[in-house]
Amino acid sequence: MTTRPDDNIPDEVIDLEPADLADAGDVDDAPPLPAALEAILMVVDEPVSEVLLAQVTERPTDEVVAALRALASDYDDAGRGFELRQVAGGWRFYTRAACAPYVERFVLDGQQARLTNAALETLAVVAYRQPVSRARVSAVRGVNVDGVIRTLVARGLIEEASHDGESGSILYRTTSYFLERLGLRGVDELPELAPFLPELDTLDEGDSGDSVSVGAAATGGSGDAFAADAAATEHPAQ
């Protein structure tokens, strides 16, 4: 009597399709529970409950809780820069208190960077000629101001006010944050600077080569007061 090679193989294995075998391999390749929990917790923006984590990882809740506590203990023992906390009915990563000053410095660094002369000049033109289009600001300064405008918007110093009725271009104005940083109640309290700025109508009469750059005047001469106040925007309050 000849013995078949598969006589000792269970019927359920013999009946497996190729796709089923591939799925079985995926189970073996699955990351350990702690790694799966870390991956999930890295992308959440609010505490995640143990029940939800158990559902996602398809593991018993008690096993998930034990893994979370073990991870939190490991992070504490290793003195990592972050910690795993159980708060508000869930778990989430948080910066360790001792490292908070470094994170704060990193986050605020971009906001504390000094404004360049180009940014100050552009800000002065917007402040005194608002609402004003980007093209008009460029005409006053005699240079392209697209990048500077984006910087000032990102800093919260200027904002879109409306659109020009004829050209449809965006008109910019200073923000309440700008007034706050300069300690002003309104733009009418800005230092007198009219003698240094040409009328906008005259800007349309000449080409860009004849444009008058008054940005420097806005931060010098009788505009010294503005430049001094604008320095307050270099270091926002913490």
Tell whether 153 and 181 lie within a shared domain: yes
Cis link prior to 191 (omega < 30° from 0)? no
pLDDT at 180: 84
Whether residue 75 contacts residue 81, with contact meaning beta carbons closer than 8 Å, is answered with: no
- Reported as type and span, the H/E element at residue 133 is strand 132-133
Tell whether 46 and 120 lie within a shared domain: no
Tell whether 60 and 86 lie within a shared domain: yes
Higher pLDDT, 223 or 136: 136
Report if residue 187 sits inside a domain: yes
Sign of the torsion angle spanned by Cα atoms 112, 113, 114, 116? negative
pLDDT at 51: 95
Q: How many CB atoms lie within 10 A of CB 37?
A: 23
Report if residue 102 sits inside a domain: no
- pLDDT tens readout for residues 71-111: 999 999 999 999 999 988 899 999 999 998 998 887 776 56
Does residue 219 carry a pLDDT above 50? no
Report if residue 59 sits inside a domain: yes
Does residue 222 carry a pLDDT above 60? no
Nearest alpha carbon to residue 151 among 183, 126, 187:
126
Q: What are phi and psi of 173, to 5 degrees?
A: -145, 165
Report if residue 140 sits inside a domain: yes
Torsion-angle region of 6 (φ positive above 0: left; ψ -120 to 50: alpha; else: beta): alpha
Helices 134-141 and 117-129, packing angle to 10 deg: 120
Q: What is the dihedral of CA 113, 156, 230, 233, to 10 degrees?
A: -40
Tell whether 119 and 229 lie within a shared domain: yes
pLDDT at 165: 85
Tell whether 197 and 85 lie within a shared domain: no
Does residue 236 carry a pLDDT above 70? no
Whether residue 219 contacts residue 124, with contact meaning beta carbons closer than 8 Å, is answered with: yes
Higher pLDDT, 237 or 65: 65
pLDDT at 123: 94
Q: What is the dihedral of CA 195, 200, 203, 205, to 10 degrees?
A: -120
Number of domains in the chain: 2
Tell whether 74 and 142 lie within a shared domain: no
- pLDDT tens readout for residues 2-24: 444 445 444 544 454 544 434 44
The residue segments making up the domain with residue 41 are: 12-97
